[in-house]
Structure 1
Amino acid sequence: MTAATVLAAVREFSKSKMGDDETGHGFDHIQRVVGLADRLIQSYPEADRVETVTAAYLHDVIDEKLVTDTAAASAEVTQFLTAQGFSTTQITTIFLIMDNMSYHKTLDGTAKPLPLEGQIVQDADRLDAIGAIGISRAIYFGGHFGEKIYDPAVKPRTAMTHAEYRNLDNETIINHFYEKLLTLKDLMNTAAAKQLAEHRQQVMLDFLAEYKAEWNAEA
């Protein structure tokens, strides 16, 4: 099969798994991550595009916050990739990326080093978490899980463990910007992503300043 045929099949598989998501990780998010990864990879022609785009399409299919049985989801992905003709080496690389690109892996220091393909996918995913899209996704995600929008008495958490990060009992949507989203700019791997992140960071900072001014009836 040609690369185009394989990636078309990967796209349809991803759409079948993520099309009904209501947490801000739906297929629209997947498509943006793929688009950003394809944009970033132009600066790194040595990266394998099929592995990069495949990992971008599948990165949330086995995510623990979205999937009840991650082992079963991983087995299904492996079976699918094998059926599409991916080699054992390619599948290992794709899973290395998917298993180690999530933000929570950095909290407990368990993330394994990513190959260039993984760094590109991770950057693309993080870029979609910031800026105007990031703002809307944070609000959408927080609303889905019943978070408060803002409470000045609840301070942003620092030095969180994985378990603390996943605990949303006393989380607010605005605090999430300080706890995670505003930190992503400095975590970008590639120079191309770092450049794109600068503008998106400012969009979030402007939003937060305006939000608090309106909250306090100053604007």
Structure 2
Amino acid sequence: MTLTQRQAAYEAEVLRRWQDQSDGAHDLGHLRRVWRNCQTIALAEGGADTEVLLAAAFFHDLVNLPKNHPERAQASRLSARAAVDWLATQGFPAEKLPAVEHAIAAHSFSAAIPPETTEARILQDADRLEALGALGIARMFYVAGAMGGALFDADDPLASHRPLDDRAFALDHIEVKLLPLVHAMQTTEGRRMAEEGADWLMSFRSRLLREIG
């Protein structure tokens, strides 16, 4: 099978697994963008197995649990196991399955698994880039709304006189989670892309603060 044919098969399997799940922050568009980021980073970094990356990119959220789910930290491990179990029945090279499993398991922030391969480092960066730039802002407010959070603290939007709380206020998430991602990037190209996205985040926040006075 060509990579294009594999991608179509992977997308079909993901949609079959997700069925009626509704999550605008983790949909087919997200998977396709992560795959595009993987390709960009892999081209700049070199040495990555494209076959492994393709499978890892499309199956990294195969088991998609809400952020407030008690087993959220296990989602990437569950996705990894489900992915390799299915791939093993589809003629995927057996010797590459451990690389796919590790890349998926290690991509998650909450799993706290250090990425030990080129593919794992690339996938982790590619997925985290979704949290920066315009997409990062869109997904941040989408998730906050889904979890019942407010846009920002009207009295202290920058948390100058209170502890940061990104569960209560979406805007706090920029400082709590998003900006630190830049320094956690695993690849040179991922870091460059992250810095560009972080600049956009800061520009957006400055504009928002002007509008709310």
State the TM-score bracket (shorter-chain normalisation): 0.7 to 0.9
Q: Which amino acid aligns with 2:12?
A: E
Match among 130, 133, 136 for residue 134 of structure 1: 136
Contact 1:40–1:120 (Cα < 8 Å) also in 2: yes
Aligned residues: 201
Letter in 2 for 1:181: L
| Aligned equivalent of 2:206 | 209
1:198–1:113 distance in 2 versus 1, CA, 3 Å: closer
Moved more, 47-56 or 88-97: 88-97
Q: Which moved more, 1:180-189 or 1:16-25?
A: 16-25
| Corresponding residue number in structure 2 for 1:6 | 6
- Structure-2 separation of matches of 1:211 and 1:13: 40
Query: What amino acid sits opposite 2:13 in the alignment?
Result: F
For 1:120, which of 119, 122, 125 is the aligned residue? Answer: 122
Cα distance change, pair 84–192 in 1 and its aligned pair in 2 (3 A)? same
Deviates more, 1:32-41 or 1:17-26: 17-26
Task: Tell whether the 8 Å contact from 2:133 to 2:200 is kept in structure 1 after alignment.
Answer: yes
Residue 45 to residue 73, structure 1, CA distance change in 2 (3 Å): closer
Match of 1:183 among 171, 180, 183: 180
Which residue number corresponds to residue 49 of structure 1? 50
Residues in 2 aligned to 1:123 and 1:156: alpha-carbon distance in whole angstroms: 25
Where does the alignment leave 5 or more consecutive residues of structure 2 unmatched?
none
Q: Unaligned 5+ residue runs, structure 1?
A: 158-164
Kept after mapping to 2: 8 A contact 1:123/1:188? yes
Query: Structure 1 residues 37, 73: CA separation in 2 closer, same or farther (over 3 Å shift)?
Result: closer
CA RMSD across the alignment:
2.6
2:38 matched to which residue of 1? 37
Question: Quick one: distance in 2 between partners of 1:58 and 1:144?
Answer: 23
Normalised by the length of structure 1, the TM-score is: 0.80
Closer/same/farther in 2, CA of residues 139 and 76 from structure 1, 3 Å limit: same
Note the alpha carbon deviations across 1:113-144, whole angstroms, 9 max, x for none: 33100111111111111001100010011111
Q: Which has the higher contact order (CA 8 A, sep 6+)?
A: 1
- Matched to 2:128, the amino acid is R
Amino acid at match of 1:150: F
Report Cα offsets for 1:51-98 as digits up to 9, x if no partner: 011111111113443787958765543331111112443222212111
Instruction: Return closer, same or farther for 1:180/1:47 CA change in 2, 3 Å cut-off.
Output: same
Q: Is the 8 A contact 1:55 1:97 kept in 2?
A: yes
2:157 paired with 1:156: no
Percent identity between the aligned chains? 25
Change (3 A) 1:88 1:78: same
Contact preservation (8 Å) 2:45, 2:188:
no
Contact 2:59 2:79 in 1 (8 A): no
What's the counterpart of residue 92 of structure 1? Answer: 98
